[in-house]
Chain A
Amino acid sequence: MMMNPELKRNLWLELSAHRLILAPVVIFAIAFAARAMLPSLALFGFVLIAVFWGARQAAAAVIEEARERTWDIQRMSSMDPWAMTWGKLLGATSIAWYGGAICLVIYLGSGSGADQGQRLMTAGSVVFGALLAQTAAMTAGLVGMRLQRRINTRFSNTLLVVVLLVVLGQVLDVFDATDGILWYGIAADRLTFIACSTAVFAAWGIIGAYRAMCTELQVRTTPWLWIGFALFIGLYATGFSTGFEPTLTNIAMRAASNAAVAAIVLSYVAAFSAPRDPIDYRRVLRSLIGGRIKRAVEEMPLWSSSAMLALFLGLVNLAGGSAPYLSNERFDNLGSAALALAFMMLRDVALLTYFSFSSPARRTVGMTVIYILMLDALIPAILKLANLDLLATVVMPTSAMYDTPISAVVVFAVHLVIAATLAVRAYRAALPSFN
Chain B
Amino acid sequence: MSAAGFINNGAARPFDDCIDVIETSGLIYEYPRLRALDDVSFSVEAGTITALVGPNGAGKTTLMRCLAGMDRPLAGSIVVNGVDVIEEPRRSHESIGYLSDFFGLYDDLTVGQSLTYVASANGVDPSGVASVVNQTATDLGLAERLDQRAGDLSRGLRQRVAIAHAIIHAPRVVILDEPASGLDPEARYELGELFLNLRSRGLTLLISSHILSELEAYSTHMLILREGRLIEHRALDTNLESRSQMEIEIVGEDTRLIATLEGHDRISALERSEHGWRFVFAGGASDRAALLRTLVDLGLEVSSFAPVTEDLQQSYLRSIGRLNDDES
Contact = CB atoms under 8 A, between A and B. Distances in A.
A77 interface: yes
Nearest to A432: B35
B131 to A, nearest CB: 15
A282 B74 contact: yes
A166 to B, nearest CB: 34
Given A76-B70, A80-B90, A218-B89, 15 more contacts: A9-B109, A12-B109, A13-B108, A69-B102, A70-B106, A72-B98, A72-B100, A76-B93, A76-B98, A218-B69, A277-B32, A278-B32, A283-B72, A286-B75, A432-B35
Contacts, number: 102
Q: Which of A69, A70, A218, A219 has the most chain B CB atoms closer than 10 A to its own CB?
A: A218
Given A70-B105, A78-B90, A430 B33 contact: yes
Nearest to B102: A69
B26 to A, nearest CB: 13
Contacts of B32: 277-279, 357, 360, 430-431
A12 B70 contact: no
Nearest to A1: B126
B308 interface: no
A5 B100 CA distance: 22
Going nearest first, the 4 A-B pairs with the smallest beta carbon separation are: A69-B104, A5-B120, A77-B121, A432-B35
A70 B104 contact: yes
A431 B126 CA distance: 48
A75 B117 CA distance: 13
A300 interface: no
B96 interface: yes
Q: Which of A8, A78, A357, A433 has the most chain B CB atoms closer than 10 A to its own CB?
A: A78
Nearest to B85: A218
Contacts of A429: 33
B68 interface: yes
Nearest to A67: B104
B74 A286 contact: yes
B113 A9 contact: yes
A73 interface: yes
B205 to A, nearest CB: 16
Contacts of B1: 78
A434 interface: yes
A6 B113 CA distance: 12
Nearest to A279: B30
A77 to B, nearest CB: 4
Interface of B: 1, 30-35, 38, 68-70, 72, 74-75, 89-91, 93-94, 96-98, 100, 102-109, 113, 117-118, 120-123, 126, 165-166, 169
Q: How large is the interface on A (under 10, 10 to 19, 20 to 34, 35 or more residues)?
A: 35 or more
Interface of A: 2, 5-6, 8-9, 12-13, 68-70, 72-80, 217-219, 277-279, 282-283, 286, 357, 360, 429-435
A278 B107 CA distance: 37
Contacts of A434: 35, 38
Contacts of B96: 76
A277 to B, nearest CB: 7
A150 B122 CA distance: 29
A77 B118 CA distance: 7
A77 B93 contact: yes
A5 B121 contact: yes
A76 B74 contact: no
A8 B117 contact: yes
25 contacts: A2-B126, A6-B121, A9-B109, A12-B109, A12-B113, A68-B104, A68-B105, A69-B100, A69-B104, A70-B104, A70-B106, A72-B98, A74-B121, A76-B96, A78-B90, A78-B123, A217-B90, A277-B32, A278-B32, A279-B30, A282-B30, A283-B74, A432-B35, A433-B33, A434-B38
B239 to A, nearest CB: 36
Contacts of B38: 434
